[in-house]
Structure 1
Amino acid sequence: MDGSPPALVPPPMEWDRAPWNRWTFQHMREMTPTAEVWRGTGHSARLERREENLDHLPVAGADGAATTLSRLLDETYTDGFLVLKDGAVAYERYFNGMTPRTLHLSQSMAKSVTGSVAGILVGRGVMDPDAPVTTYLPELEDTAWRGASLQHVLDMTTGVRFVEAYEDPNSDIGRVDVACGWKPVPPAGDPAAEWPQHMWDLILSFKETVRPHGERFEYRSIETDVLAFAMERVTGRRLAELVSEELWQKIGAEESACFTVDRAGYALADGGFNATLRDYARFGQLILDGGRGIVPAEWIEATRSGHVHGPDFSPSMPEASYRNQFWVEDPRSRNLMCRGVFGQLIHVDFDARMVTVKLSSWPDFSSVSFSVATLAAVHTIADALK
């Protein structure tokens, strides 16, 4: 896909799959329209460097056999990996052509970025988590979100029927791909189906519930987009502006980030954010530092106090829970995580004072073995850096 013209072009329906995603996740601005998340004119926040060579650190591989950290990173299709210990860079590696200036697709880590800005607005009194979401988006009275609170949306505990079947292009998440502009209508799609023109069009189409609001958690990406539309409505600013002004400029980002946008200019809150490895780490450090007056400390504490809603919460994290668009690793450490399909991770370890970022381009949407091995390696690194 290098050269002019390129010898290979990613197919429209499979650009996020192997082998194409090894290139596309670092080139989203060349794939689809985007909106800048401006870093502002200030200096970037300096990252001290106290580096350790962890290449040969013994860890368990995806198959459970002994290996080294560098081999595990290679085995799990890593594009960038960075560890901050006490705010300083302890370990930083790039692979697959990625550089410190490369913007990499976050997938669902974007949800935590969006949720953090929501926390800022809640702390300012602009939004109320206990208010019905229809307070901010009255049009949703005619949808399945009728009667749901903003907190239900934040925690993905509404009862809205939404099928997040990644392998099925005709599922609800497949319709998100079309609505957000990531993919065309599937060639084998139902010819009688009405495909959404943009994300707001899609949201208004959900009319069914499968359970009472608040009964239990079910992972559904569309909830983050409902949240983002509420944020845009109450502030009068688009999401890319909100993230820039409320977060990105304030953390001292090195590079402007970007969101992919749909035909109506909506920035995809549930997965369209792109940023550099170091700036993802700066975001994680902000959370580790209790928000530093940018994100309210009480919002972060409330997020860490999430509760598990039912058994089999996550195959790779059996004790995990979900709160305010973040994953909570377990009820003891209450570590926070931003996670995205194809191997994206920001892990915030409060006891170890460590932030780990892993950007990847896995061949598959999810991998329990890759996830388990990565999380175990993160804890091994924390022990090694004590």
Structure 2
Amino acid sequence: MKFIKKLLKWLIGIIGVLVIASYIFDYDYILKGIRVVYFTGHTTAYIDDYPNFENDTIKKGAHTDVWPLHKNYNSVNATNGLKAINEEYGTVAYLIIKNDSIFYEQYAEDYSKDSKTNSFSMAKSITTSLLGKAIMDGYIKSLDQPVSDFYPQFKNSKTTVGDLSSMSSGLDWVESYTSPFSITARANYDDDLAETILNQKVIKTPGKDFEYLSGSTQLLGMVIKKATGKQLADYLSESLWQPLGAQSDALWQLDDDENKLAKAFCCISSNARDFGRFGKLYKDHGKWNGKQILDSTFVATATKSRFSGQPYGYGFWVSDYNNKHTFAMIGILGQYVITIPEDNVIIIRLGHHRSPEKVNFFPSDFYVYIDEAYKMMGE
């Protein structure tokens, strides 16, 4: 018994020293990560994490544009291929929108059309949408405006807001999702995200090559916030969420209640139907109900590859799967809003996991969700 008591004292002492050291050496964000992830019974990021973070509200408007139901709404069953992949990767929402009407809609047990789940990196597409709106509103001059106009910390670089959006910033960010000491982990759990971002340096020539870095989008969000003088959630609400007739309030995770900086690179919690509105907006060249919400030239630029042979435009992933121009919002656990303008089709999938295998830059399940949708539509 004495041995056990001594062992417990030693363990408590070691834990105490580690906690104190984490604060001294500025690694206390790891403690938040442990609390948010492991103490909730998880081992990695998960789609229902928003109650464990501070959030800002993206307010819906007084009017909701209800998605019409297709004349053949839910008249077909899920294919065996769709059933299998939904079960394998834990799909919680799967929608096919054809000709601006919901053709097929299915939710997993305990989820519904009103359920909020984390967008993860689909938020990058939404942040770029705010960039387009800020340019349209005159807060930002163009995609070519230097970041240094807003943050003098980058006065010795030529990085532009467009470089941030197109993932060609040249920042010394390392996109790692496994190490708790990575800057990506710090960004997700840190209580002073601006300090983390502004300590970044530009170490490569910007605007030359595609390199997917979450820090690029976070800095872009900070630029938009500074240019507009508004919290990102407020600007999103007034400029897009309400004009698009979103059905529900959404939440945007913050670094903490004191700094209130939105995680522009991730973490908007909303439902499948409201996420799908961005697919329709971009499919329709920035128009919604006949009103030009985003500049059509910006929309066209955002949804085409900036660099030859690369799968990314400005905030959107780009593919020519089946020889059809396709663009998508993508989150790390298989959050997809896939838009195929040629066929007036939008496919939305939200879930717990995605395939670890990639084919031509995209997770292999990305293509399955497209293929099975076309089988169900009989096309």
Structure 2 length-normalised TM? 0.81
**Is structure 2 residue 48 aligned with structure 1 residue 26?**
yes
**Is structure 2 residue 159 aligned with structure 1 residue 165?**
no
CA spacing shift, 1:27–1:55, aligned 2, 3 Å:
farther
- 2:11 paired residue number: none
Q: Identity of counterpart residues, as a percentage?
A: 23
For residues 18 and 85 of structure 1, the distance between their equivalents in structure 2, rounded to whole angstroms, comes to 38
Residues 210-237 of structure 1 show CA distances to partners (whole Å, capped at 9, x for unaligned) of x211221100001111111111111111
Q: Secondary structure at the match of 2:65?
A: coil
Q: Secondary structure at the match of 2:57?
A: strand
| Residue 213 of structure 1, aligned match among 191, 202, 206 | 206
Matched AA of 1:117: L
- 1:329 paired residue number: 319
CA spacing shift, 1:374–1:15, aligned 2, 3 Å:
farther
- 1:39 paired residue number: 60
For residues 348 and 126 of structure 2, the distance between their equivalents in structure 1, rounded to whole angstroms, comes to 14
| Residue 376 of structure 1, aligned match among 349, 368, 371 | 368
CA spacing shift, 1:102–1:27, aligned 2, 3 Å:
farther
**Is structure 2 residue 233 aligned with structure 1 residue 240?**
yes
Residues 27-75 of structure 1 show CA distances to partners (whole Å, capped at 9, x for unaligned) of 51x2111110000212333433331444342xxxxxxxxx431222111
CA spacing shift, 1:244–1:53, aligned 2, 3 Å:
same
- 2:167 paired residue number: 156
- 2:193 paired residue number: 199
Matched AA of 1:207: K
Residues 292-325 of structure 1 show CA distances to partners (whole Å, capped at 9, x for unaligned) of 1112211111123323456xxxxxxxxx521211
Shift of 1:245: 0.6
Q: Which runs of structure 2 are paired with 1:345-384 in the superposition (5 Å)?
A: 345-362=336-353, 366-368=356-358, 371-382=363-374, 384=376
Gaps of 5+ in 1: 1-9, 58-66, 180-196, 311-319
Shift of 1:355: 0.6
Shift of 1:345: 0.7
For residues 270 and 74 of structure 1, the distance between their equivalents in structure 2, rounded to whole angstroms, comes to 28
4+ aligned runs moved over 4 Å, structure 1: 15-22
Contact 1:55 1:69 in 2 (8 A): no
CA spacing shift, 1:21–1:255, aligned 2, 3 Å:
farther
Q: Which runs of structure 2 are paired with 1:132-281 in the superposition (5 Å)?
A: 132-141=146-155, 146-179=157-190, 197-207=191-201, 209=203, 211-263=204-256, 264-281=259-276
Shift of 1:374: 3.3
Bigger fraction of residues in helix: 2
- 2:335 paired residue number: 344
For residues 78 and 264 of structure 2, the distance between their equivalents in structure 1, rounded to whole angstroms, comes to 37
Contact 2:99 2:344 in 1 (8 A): yes
Shift of 1:383: 5.3
For residues 14 and 79 of structure 1, the distance between their equivalents in structure 2, rounded to whole angstroms, comes to 20
Contact 2:58 2:236 in 1 (8 A): yes
Shift of 1:360: 0.9
Contact 2:67 2:100 in 1 (8 A): no
For residues 359 and 164 of structure 1, the distance between their equivalents in structure 2, rounded to whole angstroms, comes to 23
Larger radius of gyration: 2
Q: Secondary structure at the match of 1:377?
A: helix
Contact 1:321 1:330 in 2 (8 A): no
Q: Secondary structure at the match of 2:104?
A: strand
Q: Secondary structure at the match of 1:12?
A: helix
For residues 158 and 318 of structure 2, the distance between their equivalents in structure 1, rounded to whole angstroms, comes to 26
Matched AA of 1:231: I
CA spacing shift, 1:14–1:43, aligned 2, 3 Å:
closer
For residues 266 and 91 of structure 1, the distance between their equivalents in structure 2, rounded to whole angstroms, comes to 37
For residues 18 and 116 of structure 1, the distance between their equivalents in structure 2, rounded to whole angstroms, comes to 35
For residues 343 and 16 of structure 1, the distance between their equivalents in structure 2, rounded to whole angstroms, comes to 24
Q: Secondary structure at the match of 2:343?
A: coil
Q: Secondary structure at the match of 2:206?
A: coil
CA spacing shift, 1:19–1:139, aligned 2, 3 Å:
closer
Matched AA of 2:99: D
- 1:116 paired residue number: 129
For residues 235 and 19 of structure 1, the distance between their equivalents in structure 2, rounded to whole angstroms, comes to 37
CA spacing shift, 1:248–1:232, aligned 2, 3 Å:
same
Q: Secondary structure at the match of 1:81?
A: strand
For residues 126 and 329 of structure 1, the distance between their equivalents in structure 2, rounded to whole angstroms, comes to 31
Residues 263-314 of structure 1 show CA distances to partners (whole Å, capped at 9, x for unaligned) of 210111111211111111122212212211112211111123323456xxxx
Contact 1:328 1:335 in 2 (8 A): yes
- 1:60 paired residue number: none
Gaps of 5+ in 2: 1-32
For residues 362 and 150 of structure 1, the distance between their equivalents in structure 2, rounded to whole angstroms, comes to 31
